[in-house]
Each structure stands twice: as C-alpha cells, then as structure tokens.
Amino acid sequence: MIRIRGIVFRLHPLFVLLMLLSVLTGRFAEIGTLFSIVLLHELGHLLMALRFGWTVREVKLLPFGGVLEVEEAGSVPAKEEVLVALAGPLQNAALAGLAWLFGQAGLVDPLWTGDFIAANALIALFNLLPILPLDGGRMLQAGFSLHIPYHRTLLWSARISLLFSFAVVCAAMYPLTRGGLLHLNLLVIGLFLCASNWTYLRNVPFVFLRFLVHRAKRSEARIDGGTLAQPIVVSDQRPLSSVVRLLMKERYHLVYVMNRGSVSRVVPEGKLIDGFLGSLTNGHADLRFFM
C-alpha cells in the first residue's frame, strides 16, 4: 500500500496472486509489463476524475485494470462517469500508438512492440465489456441512469454484469469442449467477476441508501441552481420505500401526493428523502407522514 497526496494505491489480492504465479513460472518481464500497463490505465481514470474535482480515496489495481474509490459515488453526473471510464481505454490506445511510433522509428525491438500493442489492446477491449467494475460496466450504468430510476439502474447493471461475468467463465472453459486447454487466467478473472457482481447485487439496498444520503445533501444546491423539476405522481397510500425508488439520478423531482383524485400535497425530493431516512428509525412508512 502506498499513499500519495491522500490517495491510497493498493494491489488487489488477485493481482498479488498473479505476481506470485509469475515468480514461480519465471515470467518476470510479462508481469512487469502488465503492471505498468494497468497502472497507466488507472492513472488515466485518476487524472480525469481529479480534473472533475472528484474526491478519490483509493486506487485498487487488478490484473485487468483497477477500481477508483470515490466520495461522490452515485452523485456525479453521468457525463463525467462516462468520461472517467473512457479515460482508461484511451490511455491504452495512446500507449499502443506510442509503441507503434517507436517501433517504426527503430527505437525498440519489433517483437516487444507487437506484444506491448497487443497487451494494451487486450486490456482496453476487455475493460469495455459491460461488466462492473470494468469501464464498460460503468458506462452502461451511467447510460441506464439517464433513462430509468436509479434503483432500477443499480439492479439491472448488476444483473447484466453477472450475466456477462458468467459468459467470461464459459469462454474460459469453451476450449475444453473442442479438445483444447482451459484458459486458467480467464477462468480466475471470470469467477472473480461473478463473485464480485453477485455481492454487488446483494448490496444494492446499501448502495442505494448511500446514494440517497448524498442526494439529500445536494438537493438544496439543485434548487439554488434553478434546475427544472420532473414530477412524480403517487397515491398517499404508497410506501415511502417504493417512492424513493422512482428517483432518477439526473433529475430533480417534486412528488405530487394524490388523495381521492386530487393533489393533496407537493413534496420536494429533499423532504421526501429525509422522511424516508427518518422512517428507517421512527416507523413512518407512507406518504401520509407528510399530510
């Protein structure tokens, strides 16, 4: 673990395992190159996140990329999330381009150049798969958040990630059906992604609760900014837990509470969230709490 300007850089245990295996097999150059590519890939994410003013707590390096732990999780604009996610693969593209130029100029060994370009292409393309926490999964989640409520966004991005993680496991085992060899590295990564996304799916309620806490803190700022509100129309009998699940990440909402066919009250989203968070301890469960 290394701390630089308050940001912790850490190797994931899966990467440590891969490094130990490389020691046993004598593939020091390959693991050194992989570590450099992954680190530079993740620095692309980090620099873009810092450019947007995100508060980065930790950078965790995995064999295929990394994960940024940020304070603003779930509260930053989808556009920023997409640009931060793209910064990693674009960094790989830039590295591959530089290697090609150096190879054309005769400054580096052509064999090394080809391997380096292939490694960058593999890391970039793998990270574009629609699997969390890969870059493609982050972009998929950001895209969903523009069109459907955030709670549903979390559920569907986790489900799709789990499906594609299982597909990675199947791809690793497929050569066995043709008389070939098992892709052990791919199998390990696929199993890790399956476990990671299964855990994420189970933790969606906690991830969503964290989103609501951050959202409540920023509601007043949205009002001060003169944002347009998107209405949500619900019955006063509806549980608060189901109403907050209708909130969209990129919208500010006013909730129109209906009683016998007429509007009985208009509740700002900030008050709605505060009421829901309070209901977790005081037992008020539906919109009649605001009457």
Please state, rounded to an integer, the average pLDDT across all residues of the chain.
85
Backbone dihedral angles phi then psi of residue 231, each to the nearest 5 degrees: -75, 150
- DSSP letter at 239 equals B
- Domain for residue 249, yes or no? yes
Do 218 and 185 fall into the same domain?
Answer: no
pLDDT tens figures, 37-73: 888 999 999 999 999 988 888 888 887 777 888 877 6
Residue 58 resides in a domain: yes
Instruction: Specify whether 42 is catalytic.
Output: yes
Residue 117: its pLDDT value, please?
92
* pLDDT for the residue numbered 93: 95
Identify the active-site residue in 42, 58, 69, 269. 42
Domain extent at residue 257:
211-290
Last residue of one domain, picked from the residues 202, 235, 263? 202
The answer to whether residues 179 and 76 belong to one domain is no
Total count of domains within the chain = 3
> Is residue 135 a part of any domain in this protein?
no
15 compared with 286, residue with greater pLDDT? 15
Measured CA to CA, the distance from residue 13 to residue 32 in angstroms comes to: 17
Instruction: Spell out a b/e string for 82-100, using b for 16 or more CB atoms within 10 Å of the CB, else e.
Output: bbbbbbbbbbbeebbeebe
| pLDDT for residue 286 | 61
The candidate with the shortest Cα–Cα distance to 19, out of 2, 3, 33, is 33
Q: Do residues 215 and 197 both lie within one domain?
A: no
Q: Which residue has the tokens 């690793």?
A: 172
Question: Between these two residues, 217 and 35, which has the higher pLDDT value?
Answer: 35
| Of the candidate ranges 86-100, 168-182, 207-221, 264-278, the one whose mean pLDDT is the lowest | 207-221
Task: Give the global pTM.
Answer: 0.86
Tell me, what's the pLDDT at 35?
Answer: 80
137 in a structural domain: no
Q: Are residues 83 and 186 in the same domain?
A: no
